[in-house]
Amino acid sequence: MNPKRSALIKPNEFWIFVRDLRKEDGNYYFYELGALALMSLGVSHVNANPEKMFSIMNFLKNERRSCMHPETLDAVMRVREHCRTFDDDEEGSHPSPAIIQDYINKDFYQ
């Protein structure tokens, strides 16, 4: 392990330290700044997944499928995304006959 690397402080630890700095009278120096920085550390800075989902939604809900219920669109998008991650060799990677029958029996259009 690199000794220089282990001496570095983690970003969340730094901003917790900054947030909790107090003056002699007990008031905080930078409480809002530290709190904002900590919140920003949890925000994803990559938007590839949302963009991919919008593309899938635009593909699914075209002019011929414009009457699709929002719940159905949501379900189809979830199935499409979830099935993409399945490995065909895995046991249980395909829907059961009961799930398929339930899917067939649903009223998908208004």
Q: When comparing pLDDT for 56 and 90, which is higher? A: 56
Residue 110 lies in a domain: no
The predicted-structure confidence for 79-93, as pLDDT tens digits, reads as follows 777 766 555 545 555
DSSP per residue over the chain, as a string?
--HHHHTSPPHHHHHHHHHT-B-TTS-BSSHHHHHHHHHHHTS----HHHHHHHHHHHHHS-GGGTTB-HHHHHHHHHHHHHHHT--TTSTT-S--HHHHHHHHHS--B-
Entry pTM = 0.38
Most confident segment among 23-27, 56-60, 82-86: 23-27
Q: In this structure, are 60 and 36 located in the same domain? A: no
Q: Which domain holds residue 17?
A: 3-41
Residue 89 lies in a domain: yes
Q: In this structure, are 11 and 30 located in the same domain? A: yes
Q: In this structure, are 9 and 27 located in the same domain? A: yes
Mean of pLDDT over the chain: 76
Report the range of poorest mean pLDDT among 25-34, 75-84, 88-97: 88-97
Q: In this structure, are 63 and 100 located in the same domain? A: yes
